Structure 1
Amino acid sequence: MNRLQLERMKNDNGFIAALDQSGGSTPKALAIYGIQKEAYTDDAEMFELVHKMRSRIMESPAFTKERILGAILFEKTMDSKVDGKYSADYLWETKGILPILKVDKGLLDLENGVQLMKSIPNLDELLLHAKERHIFGTKMRSVIKEANKIGIKAIVDQQFEIGKVIAAAGFVPILEPEVDIHTPNKEAAEVMLKQEIIEHLKALDPTCLIMFKLTLPETDNFYAEIITNPNVVRTVALSGGYSREESNEKLARNPKLIASFSRALTEGLNVNQSEEEFNNILDESIQSIYDASIK
């Protein structure tokens, strides 16, 4: 583990940019960006277009280490290049931003009110490859749809089980048990989730370092006990479908919780914008999210 990167993630101001749209969410991300399905004929062309979008964001003069701590990458992005360097090397060497890799392979069908992660085949090989590509940490997402204790326990069990494997391999894993913002009785689901996380943290080896990516909570400062836990490097928030304005308002009411936004970060960007217009909109977006992250 790179200690300089670890200290930066733990102590510096800023937020994490989520640039990890995968196969299922890529067409929607491209459509919002102004590229419709008619513009590509297969997955290869689709991923090439989304990589150009991500590269444009990463290369923007607005995308700087002064406001951005890390960026979450899709696996194909890790093996693609930005300005002649592999994406992770470009982020760290050129921008001073920590590269983080999405490792989950999507979600299982709904059971007990939740969607667990699909199995991650060849995780060991993926982690070895990530080490070769100079990745700092990982991220994996599962989703809570109902306030169901059995399902929520299963989600937290799975996240911690895989997270410990990833941490043992020398990475800082981000555990992301997302509570869908449309969950009936979302507040009750968050109470169950926090209780499970705290119980797992009590049993965690003191040397095991992890992060969390959590849905913006209904109760302000709700995750303070998790944020300050000695095993937790940083806790970040996902926007989860809230607009950028609403996400920033909610985030600002949660001290020491920082953003890890995807759609809210890229809101307003379009493929047909001039570089000046694109950079100005991105700059405003980054500044607003940064401001909310340091409240």
Structure 2
Amino acid sequence: MNTDQMTAKMAEGNGFIAALDQSGGSTPKALKGYGIEEDAYNGDEEMFALIHDMRSRIISSPAFASGKVIGAILFERTMDGHVDGKPTPAALIERGVVPFIKIDKGLEDEVNGVQLMKPMPELDALLTKAKALGVYGTKERSVINSANREGIAAVVKQQFEVGAQVLAHGMMPMIEPEVNIKSETRAECDTILLEEILKNLDSVPEGQQVMLKLSLPVVPGTFDPLVDHPKVLRVVALSGGYKRPEACVELSKNRGIIASFSRALLEDLRHQMSDDEFNASLRGAIDEIHKGSTVKA
């Protein structure tokens, strides 16, 4: 796939995006969910080798190449690694899956009800490397915990500034201002976030687009203006802590939005499974998430 073909797949593809981008802080939890306890490895290198083995097993599975997964978000170490003897982005592209890279370096402490992204002084170098490996786009995450307009405005402003840097490298930014689904003011957060995103979309140059990765809204259809916006290539949703059945039900209520799930995709997979068991479990998860992404209530 060339860049134009990847753009077409992201705009019109009948499927969803797999988030395989757990980073250093979240890797032990991901491995534990996969059936590997912390006493099974020593140090970061062994830990990252195990999580790469998990991701390689997912990407190599026949279920992953079913056509229902149209994109995958990678952690930098996964991007730098190999699957079936090929660089991971190339292995994905061979399977018809568009590769993205997680670029944020974690979150600042909460201020004004939000957590901004930490500085990314080496971002230009990372983007150059990722582009050379065939990576199509990026994903960058902030968190909104309460309905503070000043805080939400700061999150969205920072996201679009980073997005402009990504666009300058000829890549597609996936902007992710996550609303915490446990927030007591979640519905109000959704409303303010929509308003701030619409304002900032005006700053995107004509002829360019961004993608948006958002928490599923309290009120279905809240993000319809973003789904329909000419400067938005695609709106995708994170599971945000929902179990897969609930996440898929909520997803199905929102037209034009597809999944970009991590925990909800991986929750039933275990290291101890035989290949047949693993592939069957992954296929079931993919089928369920695909339905929520493409069959709308």
**Shared fold per TM-score greater than 0.5:** yes
Tell me the equivalent position of 1:71.
72
Deviations 1:6-43 (A, max 9, x none): 11111110000000000010000000000000011100
1:148 Cα deviation after fit = 0.5
**Normalising by the residue count of structure 2, what TM-score does the alignment of the two structures yield?**
0.98
Change (3 A) 1:65 1:160: farther
Which residue number corresponds to residue 129 of structure 2?
129
1:207 is displaced (CA, Å) by 2.0
- Structure 1 segments, 4+ long, off by >2 Å, are none
Corresponding residue for 2:290?
A: 290
C-alpha RMSD of the superposition: 0.8
Give the Cα separation in 2 of the matches to 1:15 and 1:2: 18
Report deviation, 1:227: 1.0
Q: Secondary structure at the match of 1:235?
A: strand
1:73-116 CA-to-partner distances (Å, cap 9, x unmatched) read: 000001000000000000002x0100000000000001100000
- Structure 2 Cα separation of the partners of residues 107 and 207 of structure 1: 31
| Residue-by-residue CA offset, 1:197-255 (whole Å, 9 max, x unaligned) | 00111232122211000000001111010011111111000000000000000000001
SS in 2 for 1:151: helix
For 2:201 and 2:89, the matched residues in 1 are separated by: 30
Q: Look up the match of 1:83.
A: 84
CA contact (8 A) 1:104 1:117 kept: yes
1:202 is matched with: 202
Pair 1:97 & 2:106 matched: no
User: What is the match of residue 21 of structure 1?
Assistant: 22
The more displaced of 63-72 and 103-112 is 63-72
Q: Distance in 2 between matches of 1:204 and 1:73?
A: 25
Describe the SS at the equivalent of 2:7.
helix
**Partners in 2 of 1:112 and 1:55 — Cα distance?**
40
Using the TM superposition, give the Cα deviation of residue 65 of structure 1 relative to its aligned residue in structure 2, in angstroms.
Answer: 5.2
Residues 15 and 259 of structure 1 are in contact (CA less than 8 Å); yes or no, is this contact kept in structure 2?
Answer: yes
SS in 2 for 1:99: strand
Unaligned runs of 5+ in 2: none
Farther-moved stretch of structure 1 (21-30 vs 200-209)? 200-209
Per the alignment, in what secondary structure is the counterpart of residue 174 of structure 1? Answer: strand
Partner amino acid for 1:2? T
Secondary structure of the 1:204 match is coil
* Counterpart Cα distance in 1 of 2:85 and 2:259: 29
Instruction: Give 1:72's aligned amino acid.
Output: I
User: SS of the residue aligned with 2:166?
Assistant: helix
Tell me how far apart the structure 1 counterparts of residues 65 and 250 of structure 2 sit (CA, whole Å). 24
CA distance in 2, matches of 1:228, 1:291: 21
The DSSP-based 3-state class of the residue aligned with 2:77 is: helix
2:223 maps to 223
Q: TM-score, normalised by structure 1?
A: 0.98
Aligned to 1:183: 183
- Confirm or deny that 1:249 pairs with 2:249: yes
Percent identity between the two aligned chains:
49
Q: CA deviation at 1:175?
A: 0.2
| Partners of 1:65 and 1:96 within 8 A in 2 | no
In the other structure, the counterpart of 2:10 is: 9
| Count of matched residue positions in the alignment of Structure 1 and Structure 2 | 294
Residue number in structure 2 paired with 1:41: 42
| CA-CA distance at 1:64 after TM superposition | 1.8
Secondary structure class of the residue paired with 1:273: coil
Q: Counterparts of 1:97 and 1:108 in 2: how far apart (Å)?
A: 32
